[in-house]
Structure 1
Amino acid sequence: MNTTLANRRVPLYLLAGFIVLKMVLHYCIINPVYELHRDEYLHLDMANHLTAGYLSVPPFTAFTSLLIKWLGNSVFWIKFFPALYGALTLVLIWRVVALLEGGWYAQVLAATVFIFSAFLRLNMLYQPNSLDVLCWTWIFYLLICYRQTEKHSYLLWLGVAIGLGFLNKYNILFLVVGLVPALLLSPQRKIFLNKYLYISAGIALLIALPNIIWQIRSGMPVLHHMAELSQTQLVHVHRMDFIKTQFIFFFTGAFLFVAGLLGLLFYRAFSPYRFVALTYLFVMLLFTYLRAKDYYALGLYPVLLAFGAVYWEQLFRAKWLKYMRAVWILLVVVPFLYIFNIAFPVLKPAAIQQKAAKFQAAGLLRWEDGKNHALPQDFADMLGWQEMAALSRKAYAQVPDSDKPYTLIMCGNYGQAGALNYYNRGRIPLACSFSADYVFWFPHLDTIRCIVLLDDEPDERAHQVSKQIIEVGKVQNPFAREYGTGVFLLKGVSPELSAKFWEWRQAAVKKFRSY
């Protein structure tokens, strides 16, 4: 009796160990020289502007940011939530392996590949992507549970998972689009005769409804956002690069998700779950056709890792292959440790420059503009912000006390505005911008006497509306994406400027509307 209980506890101890490892790693993979990422500043600032929708993301991120704000807005909590979502994804992988009657070795193999893969990098930043992957995995988990038990409660939870996923990132819709034909073409098509599936759809719609209403009332800005992505970023995505990167995500661990696909096609015990492989096929075809960013597809892989691990465990049952179990784990971990220094911002920028050839060979220096730069784009987006915030405070200190209530902090992009608001925390007025969601948060000042302007250089319009322009300083970090961004103090601003700013703001809002 005690032996049986001990055997049951072993997998739980292993799972707890992997969860701790996963959480701890996320506090060790970023060198302190790096700051938060530009997107993180925007997401954190949403806590100050709660609403049912945003231009860049659905509203769930804003409420997480509010929780982070209540907890003190420290870097610890900012990094905690994406790491937590990654750990919960790991728990679901562990459970799927158990549902497939895999043993502790399959669970360890799947967990190892999950941790030592691109998911570690994905869960590094406070962005909607971590919860997106968790929701995709949760949906697959619920469908597998329903297939095994036919309990209606799993279908109802499916609606919750899809609805929550929608409120987090619209990417979840691609999974739904792939699942429908996959289920129709599999023996599981009878699910469409179950009324609880349609109740589930109603639950998902009810959860998503506030954001859908916001989108309609706001002129469907999501369509403008997608069009802008297609024109500025996705145009540089090559379809073959998208396919190749799916393997690079896992490096030597790619054998596991490939085994999962092969097992779903040829292993008889997996035949009831072939809709998973069909979903992968349909979603990948859709993403490839649309030239999607490579990481959009990451939500497909956790469940495949579980199937692949169980399949490999079956293969390793042969006596002579048992000795390969430990080797297979090492083949995942050791090569990953070799690329660890280039996959994560653990090296200082100067050290990265010394190893530029290694980074370039891995394609990490290629930015969204299709060109190579000194640092990976994500790393460059994590530098220069505190320097910029300090310069803005220096500029504001030069504003006469009588003019401070009538001073506007104007930034060229959302990263600048978010960083200033995060680091300055009330010491200067809230920064604003015509970029991204800040266009909706623009202050309506009846009178503007001074402007603290963040831009490369003041344009002709700035010279026309002010009597004096003082250059306070520029971002000096050559590795920062914001290198050379200047902070300028505009004095003697034209009295008519306040009305003009509101007109410009209205024009910017109109630009984001699709109708």
Structure 2
Amino acid sequence: MSRFRTPPPGVPAILAAAAFAVWLGAALLPYYGFFIDELYYVACSSRLDWGYVDHPPLSILLLRFSREILGEGRLALRLPAALAGALTVWLTARLARRLGARGLGQGIAGGAVLAAPIFGVLFGFYSMNALEPLVWLASAAILVEIEMRNEPRLWLLFGAVAGIGLENKHTVVLFAAGLAAGLLLTPARRHLAGRWLWLGAGIAALLAAPNVLWQVAHGWPSLEFYRNADLYKNVRTPPLEVLFQQILVTSPGALPVWIAGLWLLWSRRDGILLRHLAWIYLALLGLMLVGQKSRPDRIAAIYPLLFAAGGAALDVAARAPRWRWLRWSVPAWLAAWGLLLAPMGLPVLPPESLAWYMRLVGGAPQMERGEGKRTPIPQYFADRLGWERLVDDVAAAVETLPAADRRRAVVFAQAYGPAGAVEWLGRKRGLPPAYTGQNSYFLWGPPPDPVDVAIVLGDDERRLAELFEEFELAGIHECGSCMPWRNQMPIWIARHPKVPIAKLWPSVKHYE
């Protein structure tokens, strides 16, 4: 009687499982809570639409599904992010195999993703950024297949993936711009003369149309958001520091991997022309250098492509007798740097220990301009602290109100994080509805008039005197190692607005 045996899992599957376990396990550790943006995205997922001020709808729709299935805890947000990361690792290793890597090269490629601090951050909490590397890598893998199979009809599939990506995050446009440069500057320009590329572009445009129509209907709010972010949030960063940050967040251990990958894409000599893929990275890096961008994560999604190509290049090199030392030195180098920099990307240290670690490695970079934006620990950790305490403090203020005032009170916040915390985490406490003028909260509108009693978070006495007949300090919110702009936040009880809130609402809008 014949016996059927399940084939052993390959390197891509093993690496993906390991990455999923690491990222999800770290994300569920008790040191940190929900990230500020997660609170806002939950609010968005309670108001499904074809668009939002600062992002398209796809990631929000997926979050709604996750909440419906997994409930309202951290797992509903962290599991999809870790799963997207695992799929990215799997596809990176698979692409390395497609480019000629055996087990060693596949392990190097997938291991480089796992070892990079930036991917520990991106896959450690829920956002559209967790899906972006997978979209970009899938798009790049299709471009590789177009050349290796000489199959231009795959441009249709590329268009479908790009269109779906545009419904996740508008930065697919940057990938497309880099690709356009690569096509124009290399022999791959032959595709511009065929119909398949343009049909694929049509598919992408069709899939992106719902969000574009939403943008038109709402006055192109995302363009205003991106303009404000560049004007008021970006810290102008010298080109050398931009380059240093790219090396740091992707891990110095991975530097030889992606350099080898860039070289392979640029110089492959077996008749398969992939130089236009190298141009995608070079164009994106050029934009970062010229624009002096302070956010190294802006082009992080392109690195899995370079890791895949680098894994293939190093694998082939290690087959030569004189380069055999690469078989152990590259994995060891990657692992050593991955362990050394793990606390930079994974929430494995409590805030006090993390602050000590960050001082040891040179301090936490300031990623955004503005008062209260510099912290001893990275912003992506500091903004996971203090939310439950804020809800407690707001609840304490509400409890001082007479029963009649509680029923008609509202909460006004300066930003979507506090508003989202009160709305979502405060729901089980019976807190009043929360409002803010930031991003999509502004489009969702003001509370219905009349508003007689408001809990105001973070405003100053001068502003309150302009808006309300009466106000009193109800408490001071403290959140330890959180972002400084939230620490020592006053909580006010204000009564009797001097002007109807609906009339004031246009003045509170801020897209950033």
Please report the TM-score for the alignment, with normalisation by the length of structure 2.
0.91
> Which sits farther off after the overlay, 363-372 or 466-475?
363-372
In the alignment, does 2:21 pair up with 1:24?
Answer: yes
Residues 156-194 of structure 1: CA distance to partner in whole angstroms, max 9, x if unpaired?
111111111111111110111111121132222222232
Q: CA deviation at 1:247?
A: 1.5
In the TM superposition, what are the counterparts of 1:48-197 in structure 2 within 5 Å?
48-71=46-69, 72-117=71-116, 118-151=118-151, 153-197=153-197
Q: CA deviation at 1:288?
A: 2.1
Which residue of 379, 382, 397 maps to 1:380? 382
In the alignment, does 2:464 pair up with 1:461?
Answer: yes
Check conservation: 2:96, 2:311, Cα contact below 8 A: yes
Which residue of 301, 304, 324 maps to 1:322? 324
Change (3 A) 1:265 1:468: closer
Question: Structure 1: which amino acid aligns with 2:188?
Answer: Q
Which residue number corresponds to residue 265 of structure 2?
A: 264
Change (3 A) 1:294 1:221: same
Residues 401-423 of structure 1: CA distance to partner in whole angstroms, max 9, x if unpaired?
22333211111111100111221
Give the secondary-structure state (helix, strand or coil) at the position aligned to 1:69.
helix
Which residue of 471, 479, 491 maps to 1:487? 491
Give unmatched runs, 5+ long, in structure 1: none
Give distance in 1, aligned partners of 2:49 and 2:160. Answer: 20
Which residue number corresponds to residue 402 of structure 1?
A: 404
Give distance in 2, aligned partners of 1:464 and 1:286. Answer: 44
Give distance in 2, aligned partners of 1:470 and 1:234. Answer: 34
Q: CA deviation at 1:431?
A: 0.9
Change (3 A) 1:270 1:94: farther
Give the secondary-structure state (helix, strand or coil) at the position aligned to 1:486.
strand
Residues 114-136 of structure 1: CA distance to partner in whole angstroms, max 9, x if unpaired?
11112222211212112111111
Give the secondary-structure state (helix, strand or coil) at the position aligned to 2:504.
helix
Which residue number corresponds to residue 413 of structure 2?
A: 411
Give distance in 2, aligned partners of 1:325 and 1:397. Answer: 65
Give the secondary-structure state (helix, strand or coil) at the position aligned to 2:33.
coil
Which residue number corresponds to residue 475 of structure 1?
A: 478
Check conservation: 2:20, 2:82, Cα contact below 8 A: yes
Q: CA deviation at 1:21?
A: 0.9
Q: CA deviation at 1:480?
A: 4.4
Change (3 A) 1:461 1:38: same
Check conservation: 1:265, 1:271, Cα contact below 8 A: no
Q: How many residues are paired up? A: 501
Give the secondary-structure state (helix, strand or coil) at the position aligned to 2:10.
helix
Give the secondary-structure state (helix, strand or coil) at the position aligned to 2:24.
coil
Question: Structure 2: which amino acid aligns with 1:199?
Answer: L
Change (3 A) 1:508 1:372: closer
Which residue number corresponds to residue 503 of structure 2?
A: 503
Q: CA deviation at 1:258?
A: 0.1
Residues 284-328 of structure 1: CA distance to partner in whole angstroms, max 9, x if unpaired?
212322233221111221111111111111111122433431222
Residues 45-90 of structure 1: CA distance to partner in whole angstroms, max 9, x if unpaired?
1011111111111111221221132121220121111211111212
Give distance in 1, aligned partners of 2:393 and 2:15. Answer: 43
In the alignment, does 2:436 pair up with 1:433?
Answer: yes
Question: Structure 2: which amino acid aligns with 1:441?
Answer: W
In the alignment, does 2:276 pair up with 1:275?
Answer: yes
Which residue number corresponds to residue 246 of structure 1?
A: 246
Give distance in 1, aligned partners of 2:464 and 2:424. Answer: 28
Residues 485-506 of structure 1: CA distance to partner in whole angstroms, max 9, x if unpaired?
1222224x24x54x2x112213
Which residue number corresponds to residue 38 of structure 1?
A: 36
Give distance in 1, aligned partners of 2:355 and 2:100. Answer: 48
Q: CA deviation at 1:26?
A: 1.4
Check conservation: 1:406, 1:449, Cα contact below 8 A: yes
In the alignment, does 2:295 pair up with 1:298?
Answer: no
Which residue number corresponds to residue 444 of structure 1?
A: 447
Question: Structure 2: which amino acid aligns with 1:56?
Answer: D
Question: Structure 1: which amino acid aligns with 2:135?
Answer: C
> Which sits farther off after the overlay, 264-273 or 60-69?
264-273
Change (3 A) 1:322 1:354: closer
- Deviating beyond 4 angstroms after TM superposition, the runs of 4 or more aligned structure 1 residues are none
Question: Structure 2: which amino acid aligns with 1:106?
Answer: G
Question: Structure 1: which amino acid aligns with 2:40?
Answer: L
Check conservation: 2:23, 2:346, Cα contact below 8 A: no
Give the secondary-structure state (helix, strand or coil) at the position aligned to 2:475.
strand
Give distance in 1, aligned partners of 2:479 and 2:302. Answer: 42
> Which sits farther off after the overlay, 241-250 or 453-462?
453-462
Give the secondary-structure state (helix, strand or coil) at the position aligned to 1:269.
coil
Give the secondary-structure state (helix, strand or coil) at the position aligned to 1:210.
helix
Give the secondary-structure state (helix, strand or coil) at the position aligned to 1:471.
strand
Give the secondary-structure state (helix, strand or coil) at the position aligned to 2:292.
coil
Q: CA deviation at 1:196?
A: 2.2
Give distance in 2, aligned partners of 1:235 and 1:323. Answer: 42
Which residue number corresponds to residue 391 of structure 1?
A: 393
Give distance in 2, aligned partners of 1:397 and 1:358. Answer: 44
Question: Structure 2: which amino acid aligns with 1:202?
Answer: G
RMSD: 2.5
> Which sits farther off after the overlay, 315-324 or 198-207?
315-324
> Which sits farther off after the overlay, 436-445 or 149-158?
149-158
Check conservation: 2:31, 2:347, Cα contact below 8 A: no
Change (3 A) 1:93 1:356: closer
> Which sits farther off after the overlay, 43-52 or 92-101?
92-101
Question: Structure 1: which amino acid aligns with 2:381?
Answer: F
Check conservation: 1:239, 1:289, Cα contact below 8 A: yes
Question: Structure 1: which amino acid aligns with 2:64?
Answer: L
Which residue number corresponds to residue 309 of structure 1?
A: 311
Which residue number corresponds to residue 360 of structure 2?
A: 358
Q: CA deviation at 1:466?
A: 3.5
Give unmatched runs, 5+ long, in structure 2: none
Residues 407-463 of structure 1: CA distance to partner in whole angstroms, max 9, x if unpaired?
111111111001112211251232111122111123432221211111154444347
Q: CA deviation at 1:512?
A: 5.7
Give distance in 2, aligned partners of 1:301 and 1:312. Answer: 16
Give the secondary-structure state (helix, strand or coil) at the position aligned to 2:472.
strand
Please report the TM-score for the alignment, with normalisation by the length of structure 1.
0.91
Give the secondary-structure state (helix, strand or coil) at the position aligned to 1:53.
coil
Check conservation: 1:263, 1:308, Cα contact below 8 A: yes
Give distance in 2, aligned partners of 1:178 and 1:403. Answer: 56
Check conservation: 1:349, 1:479, Cα contact below 8 A: no
Check conservation: 2:383, 2:482, Cα contact below 8 A: no
